[in-house]
Structure 1
């Protein structure tokens, strides 16, 4: 996945895409190789000491901690780690290692097998199933039980995303989703005071903006974040991505055609130029050429730094279909099988995960929406621009917990969206071909990840 901050250079934001859509899973599978479970025979999940909270009473221990926060979110994470090290000075020391997401994911399995990887890490929700089925992660059910953490403490969808095969493998730190960024000056020229939230209003606004002199008010990408836009619209039109068994892609449905058709329609109506190059829509927005752009909330800090160039605001993406919905992902703390070789590291890592999750106020400054309800309710978090997007948490939609889903997304769904937006195929044709490819990969994954 791309790093989730707004100060990321274009190439780094594409890296974020790789993890969000699971592209990095390709390298991960290559590193794992066949059906071998990483950490098999070394994972002490069944005999690990039970976490009971309170204070760490073990000997001095050093934890290796990996994450992919290479952008503007990095300093916020570093500040959180520094605060933990100060609190547990002389007892627990956390060594923070930051790597690009597209490097971190494929490196994890082999590094952990060699004892040179992390004891605790942050990964995205769509990676949990793949790493869990390979034996790279250890369950955290005892942590959430001891701390009496339940779904009611978190945004429900992000809480559920941490469970695979009946066990909890993560504690969520945040949620991050698409948002609709709009140029306030452009809207004022068109007689609008804010971005409309419904289809009729949004399409009417595009027409008014064009009449007011904005040639192309809404540039439609064919790559990042086109597939995130498509998934959001698919859910809005009542569609689903995959069946419950994870054996069939469902996005070639009528809902999928409506979703992709609406995206293509914006080009046909002249609201967007054809063949928008990678990152062009976002750069055009920053340079005062685009009225609306859908992108992740991690762009907030970047846009703040360019505030002198444009006047902008943000809101939830409009409801083009019948049901509000938006693509969402999450950063999650996980305990690895490397820590499972040392009882003291297991306990220390669990204290670290609890501490970081509970004190995510600092993390909200990086542009994220804290996963914990209590943190979002704090005054300093509630006034941040991204927090209102969580006013209705039911709109957040996550990718399902399917091992190897990244290959399906990158080799089938993303490619289908790209072909249609570029005009190489009709939405129906692109989706039909994509579903065939997706179902083939899903069948292969069933064998690859068989227990």
Structure 2
């Protein structure tokens, strides 16, 4: 998931004397070196250094949450360092941890954590200390908690989950006759049902397409769609280091062929990239859109009449491909106990006040917030909140997770399959071979 890098000046003014933002909008090469060299130099226990990759609306929301936290009794000052999204961020964070210049706290995607854990780049959270601030294991859905623990250690605290979902234009859906009496998309229980619904949307959509899905040149989106349906069909995947990819070939090919049937020029546009798919739906051209929950803000700003739902479970129980923004403790050889305590307090505060985080579409990981009537009244957010019981993350490996090259490899080998220039099995086997090559190499961490 990519974010823009603009912080509102109003938010910056609100932070006042605390000099809250440092390096907003990312760091260039020289800035990155300076940040690595200077990080961790705080002398007072209450000064917390915080690295993250959140900018745009997410960055503004995080800034507001932290500004509110710093007004509470006993809170320390928090200094943000905002770095560019993707591989550069994770590289700099690893270098800082390995070089003993780590920040007190950072944000990672949960699916990236297993790749960092074996290298000792992360410290464990203190569940007893979190409990003092009112945060407990039972406050998190089981699937999210499972991603927070790695080899028995609590290595990340999830702030949210951000699943792959289905948006739909309520005006087009109403004209197509595919809304129920509550104005929600009619349920579909079989592949035939869903394809029929897509064709009904196509008939009512100005573009002539019921579905918008951006795959062209977008390996991440290709992987999200594939893994959603592959796991929904019952497929599993394991990536053992030093071994070979473990998977079900028949299910993989069935998932690929199903996706091809949705981008066939009848149900959906056969040649969208990410931007054109978003634009088609945003301008009211198509009936539905496959994408991440973070697009909710742009569609709302465009005035699109839309609602959202989980990707329907037409092959079995629904699945929701997802990742989570999570808080981690980068390794420090001699962590300051008081500062560590302050970090635990800060995270507990953010979790308990994460209703604001839901505004951008993310589902808060802290279950009491999702169960609160205030969240249940949010639309369309509450309409896909059940995704927390059906989350599917990348299979653990040192090269998987958001911002990794894993999905790039998938896109490189599968692009011609979606374009109907390569046989599905040929494209899939090329992907498997590429991943087997990586599994034969030791983790660089």
TM-score, normalization by structure 1: 0.80
| Whole-angstrom CA distance in 1 between matches of 2:253 and 2:221 | 18
- How far off is 1:426 after superposition? 1.9
- Structure 1 residue 327 corresponds to structure 2 residue 311: no
- Structure 1 residue 195 corresponds to structure 2 residue 192: no
- How far off is 1:278 after superposition? 3.5
Q: Please, which of 298, 302, 309 is the counterpart of residue 306 of structure 1?
A: 302
Q: Which structure 2 residues correspond to residues 94-133 of structure 1 after superposition, within 5 A?
A: 94-102=78-86, 103-113=88-98, 116-133=101-118
Q: Please, which of 191, 196, 216 is the counterpart of residue 204 of structure 1?
A: 196
- Structure 1 residue 421 corresponds to structure 2 residue 432: no
Bigger mean CA offset, 350-359 vs 281-290: 350-359
| Whole-angstrom CA distance in 2 between matches of 1:339 and 1:314 | 46
Q: Which consecutive residues of structure 1, in runs of 5 or more, have no partner in the other structure?
A: 8-30, 32-37, 39-57
Paired position in structure 1 for 2:149: 163
Q: Please, which of 61, 64, 68 is the counterpart of residue 79 of structure 1?
A: 64
Q: Which consecutive residues of structure 2, in runs of 5 or more, have no partner in the other structure?
A: 8-31, 37-42
- How far off is 1:204 after superposition? 0.9
Given that 1:219 and 1:293 are in contact with CA atoms closer than 8 Å, whether structure 2 keeps it comes out as yes
Q: Please, which of 256, 261, 277 is the counterpart of residue 265 of structure 1?
A: 261
Given that 1:419 and 1:425 are in contact with CA atoms closer than 8 Å, whether structure 2 keeps it comes out as yes
Cα deviations across residues 287-345 of structure 1 (Å, max 9, x unaligned)? 111111111111112111111xx321111112232221110111111111248443332
- How far off is 1:73 after superposition? 1.5
Bigger mean CA offset, 117-126 vs 412-421: 412-421
- How far off is 1:271 after superposition? 2.5
Q: Which structure 2 residues correspond to residues 203-352 of structure 1 after superposition, within 5 A?
A: 203-212=195-204, 214=206, 215-222=208-215, 223=218, 224-242=220-238, 247-251=243-247, 253-268=249-264, 270-307=266-303, 310-338=304-332, 340-352=334-346
| Whole-angstrom CA distance in 2 between matches of 1:429 and 1:252 | 15
3-state SS of paired residue (2:77): strand
- Structure 1 residue 434 corresponds to structure 2 residue 431: yes
| Whole-angstrom CA distance in 1 between matches of 2:242 and 2:298 | 37
- How far off is 1:88 after superposition? 4.4
Q: Please, which of 47, 51, 54 is the counterpart of residue 69 of structure 1?
A: 54
Paired position in structure 2 for 1:27: none
Given that 2:117 and 2:150 are in contact with CA atoms closer than 8 Å, whether structure 1 keeps it comes out as yes
Bigger mean CA offset, 141-150 vs 59-68: 141-150
- Structure 1 residue 358 corresponds to structure 2 residue 358: no
- How far off is 1:113 after superposition? 4.7
Given that 2:308 and 2:383 are in contact with CA atoms closer than 8 Å, whether structure 1 keeps it comes out as no
| Whole-angstrom CA distance in 2 between matches of 1:247 and 1:181 | 39
Paired position in structure 1 for 2:24: none
Cα deviations across residues 346-396 of structure 1 (Å, max 9, x unaligned)? 222222222222332222223211111111111211222223322363311
Q: Which structure 2 residues correspond to residues 41-52 of structure 1 after superposition, within 5 A?
A: none
Paired position in structure 1 for 2:388: 393
3-state SS of paired residue (2:266): coil
3-state SS of paired residue (1:321): coil
Cα deviations across residues 102-151 of structure 1 (Å, max 9, x unaligned)? 24222212234555542101111011122222222101144467448554
| Whole-angstrom CA distance in 1 between matches of 2:94 and 2:199 | 51
3-state SS of paired residue (2:144): helix
- How far off is 1:417 after superposition? 3.5
Bigger mean CA offset, 318-327 vs 389-398: 389-398
C-alpha RMSD of matched pairs (Å): 2.9
Q: Which structure 2 residues correspond to residues 134-173 of structure 1 after superposition, within 5 A?
A: 134-143=119-128, 146-147=131-132, 150-173=136-159
3-state SS of paired residue (2:416): helix
- CA, structure 1 residues 219+133, in 2 after alignment: closer, same or farther (shift >3 Å)? same
Given that 1:326 and 1:397 are in contact with CA atoms closer than 8 Å, whether structure 2 keeps it comes out as yes
Bigger mean CA offset, 180-189 vs 380-389: 380-389
Q: How many residues align?
A: 397
3-state SS of paired residue (1:221): coil
Paired position in structure 2 for 1:374: 368
- How far off is 1:161 after superposition? 0.3
- Structure 1 residue 93 corresponds to structure 2 residue 93: no
Cα deviations across residues 177-233 of structure 1 (Å, max 9, x unaligned)? 011111122122222224344233321122223334642221343225221011100
Cα deviations across residues 258-309 of structure 1 (Å, max 9, x unaligned)? 11111112233533333323321111100111111111111112111111xx
Bigger mean CA offset, 77-86 vs 384-393: 384-393
Paired position in structure 1 for 2:17: none
- Structure 1 residue 443 corresponds to structure 2 residue 440: yes
- CA, structure 1 residues 151+390, in 2 after alignment: closer, same or farther (shift >3 Å)? farther
| Whole-angstrom CA distance in 2 between matches of 1:201 and 1:140 | 46
